[in-house]
Amino acid sequence: MGQQLINTVFIPGPLKDEFNETIPSEDVAKWSHLVPDALTTTDNDGTGNTIAGRVAVLNALGVTSLPNGAPLLLPASFPNTNRNLLRAAILPDVLRLDLDLAPNDLGVGQFGLQNGRRLGDDATDIALRLLRQLADVNFPSGSGLPGSGPARAGALNFPADRRVFLVLQGTDFYEPDASVTDLSGAGNEKAILSVFPYFPTPHPLPGAPGSIGYPPVL
């Protein structure tokens, strides 16, 4: 497993182990059909199903600002013309690292979901905020929403595909406050170390000195 949430969001339960065992050179051929089309600047079905149309839907739902969601990651004018953009960013499922970028440059969406992955990066929100703006969704006929109509290949079909709900807010609300807007910090409850192995110090075991409820009440 390389990039965050790929197995969790796109791969059905019975196939998850097989996905993890697949070598990266086979990812595109075996798994591209499970990744939805990306929205573009062109209305391809006459319903306003564009990147700008999705922004209008998210704004109308009130999920592009606190307290109900996170800010947009891409502008409504994001110039994508490639419906395979998500497939190219997601597969093969490997971490991509550009050493020419500054250490604090997340490189979101440049050539993958992000540039490498630091322990403190808000990796889940990076994926959610990209997917909610770019993943094609087929909404029910008569809803008047961009992308509405009969079910079609290449789209997440709502409401049968529950993954739609996963991405609308654009955040997991691990910390339900302004920190959800900072993709360089995941809000870990203990400080991440600046030296190897970098992981925060563990919480004390229950009943140990320094743990919650110590000393025990007899």
What pLDDT score was predicted for residue 163?
A: 78
Structure pTM?
0.84
Given a contact cutoff of 8 angstroms between Cβ atoms, the answer to whether 136 and 38 are in contact is yes
The answer, yes or no, to whether residue 158 has pLDDT greater than 60, is: yes
| % of the chain residues with pLDDT over 90 | 42
Other CB atoms within 10 Å distance of the CB of residue 34: 16
Which of helix, strand or coil describes residue 137?
Answer: strand
The answer, yes or no, to whether residue 211 has pLDDT greater than 70, is: no
Task: Give the phi and the psi of residue 89 in degrees, each rounded to 5.
Answer: -80, -30
Dump pLDDT digits (tens) for 11-67. Answer: 999 999 999 999 999 999 999 999 999 999 998 788 999 999 999 999 999 999 988
The CA distance from 126 to 9, in Å, is 13
The CA distance from 69 to 129, in Å, is 10
The answer, yes or no, to whether residue 122 has pLDDT greater than 80, is: yes
Confidence tier at 207 by pLDDT (50, 70, 90): low
The answer, yes or no, to whether residue 86 has pLDDT greater than 60, is: yes
Highest-scoring range by mean pLDDT, 134-148, 149-163, 185-199: 134-148
What pLDDT score was predicted for residue 213?
A: 57
The answer, yes or no, to whether residue 135 has pLDDT greater than 60, is: yes
